[in-house]
């Protein structure tokens, strides 16, 4: 889902300034996965103009953390501020926790980049714990066990190296908390899997 460009008013110069800020921010990559941008991951949610305390207008860049306590968020905030300042723009970073980030916000382009980088992209988070009956989705809150796995545990995680689905999870936590460590039983290569949420 691509964030909408919004502003406090709808004048053409303001819309142009916001579009220019978006173009600058497109270059920012995730500090932990440098092949994907913050926008492609769905972390960068919005850019808008707002009044500062002194009455002047400044940019507000809205970000949503992938996980509570993600250690990269401080670096992401610094990167956004530094990019704005380097281009002579006044701005601040706003962290928005609701709605909570989901892997469904990751673009298909980012999923392709993750796979090429050696990280198995997430399955759709909307599918992994929901059952659909008619037009209603039912979220499962029951504890998981071998006899009651979540739906995403039933889906194979293809190896990003050889595309084999003969893989196994070796640790629920990989190089970062948002990834699990897997191993391919065909090519024997270890790889990270971006967990769906």
Of residues 197 and 37, the one with the higher pLDDT is 37
Domain boundaries, the chain: 12-95, 108-194
**CA–CA separation, 166 vs 125, rounded Å?**
22
Output the pLDDT for position 67: 85
Output the pLDDT for position 12: 76
- Nearest 10 degrees: CA dihedral of 106, 111, 114, 115? 160
Structure tokens at 108: 């298909």
Superfamily of domain 12-95: Fe-S cluster assembly (FSCA) (3.30.300.130)
Q: 27-80 pLDDT, tens per residue?
A: 999 999 999 999 999 999 999 998 877 778 899 999 999 888 888 999 999 999
pTM of the model: 0.76
Structure tokens at 75: 């670096």
Prior bond to 184 cis, omega within 30?
no
Share of the chain above pLDDT 90, in %: 62
Q: Give the C-alpha distances (Å, rounded to integers) separating 21 from 7, 63, 114.
A: 12, 14, 25
Output the pLDDT for position 135: 46
Output the pLDDT for position 176: 85
Q: 102-136 pLDDT, tens per residue?
A: 999 999 999 999 999 999 999 876 544 444 444 44
């Amino acid at each position: 889902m691509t964030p909408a460009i919004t502003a406090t008013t709808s004048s053409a110069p303001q819309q142009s300034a916001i579009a220019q800020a978006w173009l600058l921010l497109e270059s920012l990559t995730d500090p932990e996965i440098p092949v994907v941008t913050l926008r492609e991951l769905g972390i960068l949610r919005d850019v808008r103009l707002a009044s500062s305390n002194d009455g002047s207008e400044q940019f507000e860049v809205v970000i949503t953390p992938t996980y509570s306590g993600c250690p990269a968020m401080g670096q992401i905030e610094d990167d956004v501020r530094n990019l704005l300042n380097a281009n002579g723009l006044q701005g601040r970073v706003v962290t928005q926790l609701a709605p909570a980030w989901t892997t469904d916000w990751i673009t298909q382009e980012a999923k392709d980049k993750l796979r090429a980088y050696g990280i198995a992209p997430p399955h759709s988070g909307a599918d992994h714990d929901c059952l659909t009956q008619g037009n209603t989705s039912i979220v499962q809150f029951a504890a998981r066990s071998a006899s009651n796995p979540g739906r995403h545990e039933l889906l194979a995680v293809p190896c990003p190296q050889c595309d084999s689905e003969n893989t196994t999870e070796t640790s629920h936590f990989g190089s970062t908390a948002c990834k699990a460590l897997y191993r391919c039983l065909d090519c024997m290569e270890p790889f990270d899997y971006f967990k769906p949420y």
